Amino acid sequence: MEKQNKSIHEFDIDLICEYFLEIERQGPGSKEVTIKALSFIDNLKEDSQIADIGCGTGGQTLTLAHNSKGKVVGIDLYPRFIQKLNENALKHKLQNRVKGIVGSMDNLLFNNEGLDLIWSEGAIYNIGFKRGLQEWHKFLKKGGYIAVTEVSWFTAERPREIEEFWTDAYPEIDTIPNKVRLLQEAGYIPVATFILPENCWTDNFYAPQVAAQETFLQKYVGNITVEGLIANQRREAKLYLKYKEYYGYVFFIGRKI
Ligand SMILES: C[S@@+](CC[C@H](N)C(=O)[O-])C[C@H]1O[C@@H](n2cnc3c(N)ncnc32)[C@H](O)[C@@H]1O
């Protein structure tokens, strides 16, 4: 029997991409938060190499390029997201410093010790936090930084409804201290950890989806999969408002030892 509530990862990926293509961000975040996370990173020069893994259409990739030195490579599995990033880089005259390439985070083609900074907002969950931290470590130079956001519990205990929702969607969800321990065990000095403000979810992630949902429903009238996808996104937004004291996205920043 089909589950009543699916996680977003269980829908047709082309539909998810099309849905998110018109929205500036594909996950919670903001320019201010990207800039705040960058303020902890002090090793960037003109010749620095930065990778933004799971960049989506590149909202944060352009912020990174505007607010740091060095070259930024954005990597995402989905060609239409990468095409949009490269178009936007051109619009912002950043094409000499920003390049989007299609690729998978579990098969990155960087040289060992070739990167000064690895960035990943709202995307490391695709490979898993622990595995991503471990596998990407070799690509960083000694003293290089990693900065990722990850959904995390704020409290040791929480109501059953939200516990079940997230454990089903992402079983690796855990408390902030447990995530920091994983960062340390993977060979990084934990440099900073901070919780993304609520507006990263409400104003920047869920609000822009409201209009996109109407457009999408009109385009695909009667399509059960689309209706399911939208119902799912609406449920997730409702749960966030109900339980936001208990979880959120957290920036984890570490320096390779
Ligand atoms: C929640 S979105 C976050 C996008 C963007 N970083 C942001 O914050 O707006 C997750 C991104 O990971 C990408 N992704 C999923 N699996 C991937 C993989 N195996 N390799 C690279 N990117 C992947 C998706 O296409 C999507 O763009």
User: What band does 191 get if pLDDT is binned at 50, 70 and 90?
Assistant: very high
- Determine the residue of 7, 31, 78 to mutate for testing ligand 1's pocket, defined as the one with the most ligand atoms within 8 A of the Cβ atom: 78
Which of the given ranges, 139-148, 204-213, 225-234, has the highest pLDDT on average? Answer: 139-148
Closest to 27 in 3D by CA, of 171, 209, 164, 193: 209
Q: Which atom of ligand 1 is nearest to the CA of 52?
A: 6
255/159 Cα distance (integer angstroms)? 35
φ and ψ at 210, to 5 degrees? Answer: -60, -50
pLDDT at position 14, please? 85
CB of 58 closer than 6 angstroms to any ligand 1 atom: no
**Which residue's alpha carbon is nearest to atom 17 within ligand 1?**
77
Which amino acid would we find at residue 191?
V
CA of 52 to the centre of ligand 1 (A): 10
Average pLDDT, rounded, for the chain: 94
Report residue 1's pLDDT band, with 50, 70 and 90 as the boundaries. Answer: very low
Among 26, 107, 233, 236, say which to mutate for ligand 1: greatest number of ligand atoms within 8 Å of CB. 26
Ligand 1 within 6 A of 56 CB? Answer: yes
pTM: 0.94
Decide: 59 in ligand 1 pocket, CB within 6 A: yes
Protein residue with least CA distance to atom 1, ligand 1: 27
Q: Give the up-direction half-sphere exposure of residue 257: CA atoms within 13 A in the CB hemisphere.
A: 9
Whether 102 and 79 have beta carbons less than 8 Å apart is answered as yes
The pLDDT of residue 7 is 58
According to the 3-state scheme, what is the secondary structure of the chain? CCCCCCCHHHCCHHHHHHHHHCCCCCCCCCHHHHHHHHCCCCCCCCCCEEEEECCCCCHHHHHHHHCCCCEEEEEECCHHHHHHHHHHHHHCCCCCCEEEEECCCCCCCCCCCCEEEEEECCCHHHCCHHHHHHHHHHHEEEEEEEEEEEEEECCCCCCHHHHHHHHHHCCCCEEHHHHHHHHHHCCEEEEEEEECCHHHCHHHHHHHHHHHHHHHHHHCCCCHHHHHHHHHHHHHHHHHHHHCCCEEEEEEEEEEC
Residues in the chain: 257
Q: What percent of the chain has pLDDT over 70?
A: 96
- Which CA distances in Å does 203 have to 31, 136, 198, 214? 12, 31, 8, 17
Going from the Cα of 29 to the center of ligand 1, the distance in angstroms, rounded, reads 13
* Cβ of 26 below 6 Å from ligand 1: yes
pLDDT above 80 for 11: no
8 A C-beta contact, residue 143 and residue 256: yes
CATH numeric code, 27-196+246-256? 3.40.50.150
CB of 27 within 6 A of ligand 1: the answer is: yes
Single-letter code of the amino acid located at 28: P
- Output the CA 67–ligand 1 centroid distance in Å: 22
Burial 159-179 (b: 16+ CB within 10 A, else e): eeebbebbeebbebbbebeeb
Q: Is the confidence at residue 3, as pLDDT, over 70? A: no
Please identify which residue in the block is written with the tokens 């969800």: 173
Supply 207's token pair. Answer: 């609000």
pLDDT-based confidence at 140, cuts 50/70/90? very high
Q: For residue 69, is pLDDT > 80?
A: yes
